[in-house]
Amino acid sequence: MDKLCEKVISVSDLCLAYGNFKVLNQVSFDVTKGSCTIIMGGSGCGKSTLLKSLIGLLKPKAGHIYIEESDLWHASNSEKQNLLRKFGVLFQGGALWSSLNILENLALPLQTHTSLSEQEIKELAYYKLSLVGLSGFETFYPSEISGGMRKRAGIARAMILDPSIIFLDEPSAGLDPVNARRLDDLIIELKQSLGVTFVVVTHELASIFEIGDHSIFLDSRTKSIIAKGSPSNLLQNCESSEVQSFLKREG
């Protein structure tokens, strides 16, 4: 199979709910290696709920999530942990430990999950911070750097265990346009230089068109996907009035 078309995530007939409240029904889509897939839609459509299931936090009511060829939610505990090791996650606020400096935030996963020496951990953390443009800020605490820098530090930590897939939840939320663009540029650079696969939940139009190779549009009324394709193709060709309104910011 052509690596450019290799599926690293396949979601099949996924149904998600909180108790008896159904959030999503019969959701199916694929994520290809080295691509950036955007999960988009209006408020309350289930974007964050879908992300929770993809990263192993919310068990589906039905359906399957395949990571490469392994079924995430039907694997043994040890198999599931191995699959989750392929993931890096950036939550909305960055989720950095406020009591640890940036270097210590990156070191913590390495100390927990590897047998690397302290010197090796330090060198790797310095390298990851250099990749996101934060060299020189290793000893700063999260409260001492800007929101955009915290997001970049969060991406560095998400990358620290060399995941093949990185999930980003509203990475541009709360950022000014300049820092949001810098973050988009960073995502593109990491995708192109390291071959990282990204799955991004966002409603920011500039980011959607800048970083998205593929996208799915979730609809709160039908609780399903009503459009798939590159954002630019959906803008030009999708006949759904809801998708058009979202992508053109109408209504």
Instruction: Specify the CATH number for the domain of residue 70.
Output: 3.40.50.300
Nearest-10 Cα torsion for 69, 199, 243, 12: 20
Which of 132, 162, 192 terminates a domain? The answer is: 162
Co-location of 198 and 236 in the same domain: yes
Which of 162, 192, 221 terminates a domain? The answer is: 162
Co-location of 17 and 131 in the same domain: no
pLDDT mean by block of 10 residues, the chain; 251 residues: 72 96 96 96 92 95 94 93 91 81 94 92 93 91 90 90 92 84 89 92 92 96 96 94 88 47
For residue 88, the surrounding DSSP H or E stretch is strand 87-90
Range of the domain at 207: 3-86+163-248
Co-location of 112 and 186 in the same domain: no
Co-location of 48 and 170 in the same domain: yes
Which of 128, 162, 196 terminates a domain? The answer is: 162
Co-location of 48 and 150 in the same domain: no
The half-sphere exposure of 143 on its side-chain side, counting CA atoms within 13 A, is 4
Residue 132: what pLDDT?
86
Co-location of 120 and 196 in the same domain: no
- The sign of the dihedral angle between the CA atoms of 246, 174, 186, 124 is negative
Co-location of 125 and 168 in the same domain: no
Name, in order, each residue with C-beta under 8 angstroms of 49's C-beta and a sequence gap of 6 or more: 16, 18, 23, 24, 58
CA nearest to 64, candidates 30, 18, 33: 30
pLDDT tens string 89-128: 988 766 789 899 999 999 999 998 889 999 999 999 999 9
Co-location of 19 and 66 in the same domain: yes
How many domains is the chain built from?
2
Co-location of 157 and 213 in the same domain: no
Co-location of 80 and 111 in the same domain: no
Co-location of 131 and 238 in the same domain: no
Residue 94: what pLDDT?
65
Co-location of 128 and 226 in the same domain: no
Name, in order, each residue with C-beta under 8 angstroms of 109's C-beta and a sequence gap of 6 or more: 157, 160, 161
Rounded to two decimals, what is the model's pTM? Answer: 0.90
Tell me the CA distances in angstroms from 9 to 27, 83, 168, 218, 232, one per residue in order: 13, 11, 15, 18, 22
CA nearest to 168, candidates 143, 129, 196: 196
Residue 1: what pLDDT?
40
